[in-house]
Amino acid sequence: MAKRILPLIPPSLVVDHVEQSKEAITIDCRFRSTEAKCPDCSQASHRLHSRYERRLADLPWQGRAVTITLSVRRLRCSNERCGRRIFAENAGDVSWRHRRRTIRLEDVHRSIGMALGGEAGMRLVARLGIPVSADTILRIARRAYPTGDCEAPRILGVDDWAWRRGQRYRTILVDLETNNVVDLLPDREKDTLSEWLADHPGVEVIARDRAGAYARGAREGAPKAQQVADRWHLLRNCSDALQNVVERRYRVIRDVGKSLMAQLDTDDRMCGQGKNGEPLHERAVRQHDSRHQRRLALFEEVIRLNSLGWSQLAIKRELGIDLKTIRKWLKDNQPGTWKRTIFTENPADAHGDYVRRRWLEGCRNATRFYRKVSDRGYRESIKTFRQWVKVRLRDDVPAPSLFRASRKSSWRTPSSRHTARLLTAEVDTLSRNDRAFVHAISSASSEVAAAADLARRFQSMICNREIAALGPWLQDATGGPMSSFARGISRDKDAVHAALSMPWSTGPVEGKINKLELIKRSMYGRAGMDLLRSRIIGT
């Protein structure tokens, strides 16, 4: 047993005794060297003062917990001019001072804490035979990456993330060349970013969004660095600017939408017709026949596969039909009855003249109709009668439905955000109604049409990296409905120009923010800045 354990012990130690049980292994060790160096004056000494024992938890062996009992000597310093009179032997390759576990065991606890956090890590290490509390795992994780030990990257990505959404935000810094998190800042103020950049010189490119605080902080902290505006944020700001134009003139847009809705309802709904002009009852018959044919084709395929020797379970997996349906079809040798009366002949037809006459007189209640025809001898259910009214009366009488709740229109006036999206979308990708809506808006409001044209040009310029188009666009946009957005682009023109000419963006930063938010939520409120920083940098 001792021979198998010896290779696991560091070479600086000597094993004196091994004691084992079914649950644990205890190894008594001492230092191999007979002398040690004073930590202050570095002079070697072998003058013994006293001894004491340290109990260190180590990695498990064969599923059993391992404890190293280390005999440590206290020595007297031989240098009379040294201020330290007594010191202990150094166990730096085994464990650090005041620790109760070996270095390699602490590395395992740190890795698990980085990946899983406290509670989940505690449950895992208990199964691995190295139990420790959740608080200890978190303390070990916090010590992993102390503040201030990071190096400045050449290409830096800057963005904010929500510590508490809508209330407090902080800043994340990412090395865009290695895609690693560099540091977390406690807020998103310009002074904090400028101080960090001043303390970490060497940043050449800073990719950021269009927040003014980051622009000023980067300019003050790293004046020689090239700032790059993020292209996605530019497109989003353009969309927001167009939405503001739409909202300021939304009364006109709403009137255009209502007019278009009324026209569509008149064309498609008032005549009892579907979208392609087909009467509703004829469409119902056609759909019924189509379902009939599909069901019959499935039945014939089931019979064919069964004749080939396929099992019922194999047929189920091949065709996706319920197993009980297959058994019934094979037992009855027919697909069952699915024929329904599609109002070719209905008992309510005998009362059709009466219902139409009362409808033209002004009666609009289907339940009242049902009571009257029941008194006249109608014996079917009210549901059947309502279906008959819906199919037959609508085709014969050009009037609204008998039901109080009118049918919803197939098209509604879009919201301001949706309207902005429609105005900048490709015409070929829009439906017929949306194309009519966009055309009507452009005819009703010249300012909305001009803003939409500017937005489309700006999006094309950003997506296609058209550097030469930036100057003409600024000239056309200044003084127009999107003048405020154009002035912001002019102030940040150098960063926008760099965005069109350089490949860097804050896309990788957004991915790290997603990971950071996941870590923060998985810790159930225990995620302080020091712990978050250690986990996001260490994983």
Contact 516, 172 (CB under 8 A): yes
Pairing of strands 64-76, 36-37: unpaired
Q: Quote the pTM value.
A: 0.63
Q: How much is the pLDDT for 102?
A: 87
Confidence of residue 227 (pLDDT cuts 50, 70, 90): very high
What is the tens place of the pLDDT at every residue in 422-432? 999 988 888 88
Confidence of residue 270 (pLDDT cuts 50, 70, 90): very low
CA 223/CA 201 separation, integer angstroms: 11
Q: How much is the pLDDT for 428?
A: 85
Rounded mean pLDDT, 119-148: 81
Q: How much is the pLDDT for 407?
A: 46
Confidence of residue 268 (pLDDT cuts 50, 70, 90): low
Rounded mean pLDDT, 309-319: 89
Residue entry with tokens 């021979």 = 3
CA 155/CA 180 separation, integer angstroms: 11
Tokens of 112: 């698990």
| DSSP symbols for 308-330 | TT--HHHHHHHH---HHHHHHHH
Q: How much is the pLDDT for 459?
A: 93
Closest by alpha carbon to 390, among 406, 374, 380, 401?
A: 401
Q: Which residues contact 378 (CB under 8 A, 6 or more apart)?
A: 347, 348, 350, 351, 370, 385
184 or 361: whose pLDDT is higher?
184
Report how far apart, in Å, the C-alpha atoms of 245 and of each of 238, 416, 502, 516 are: 11, 9, 31, 36
Contact 459, 424 (CB under 8 A): yes
Confidence of residue 500 (pLDDT cuts 50, 70, 90): very high
Alpha helices in 333-482 (DSSP H): 352-361, 366-375, 382-388, 394-396, 416-424, 432-444, 446-463, 470-477
Q: How much is the pLDDT for 403?
A: 34
pLDDT of 272 > 80? The answer is no
Contact 102, 89 (CB under 8 A): no
Q: How much is the pLDDT for 265?
A: 61
pLDDT of 2 > 60? The answer is no
- The beta-strand segments (E) located in 77-136 are 86-88
Whole-number average pLDDT of the chain: 82
3-state DSSP assignment of residue 90 = coil
pLDDT of 231 > 90? The answer is yes
Angle in degrees, 0-180, between the axes of helices 432-444 and 250-268, rounded to the nearest 10: 140
Q: How much is the pLDDT for 339?
A: 53
What is the tens place of the pLDDT at every residue in 331-343? 888 886 655 544 4
Start-to-end CA span in the chain (Å): 37
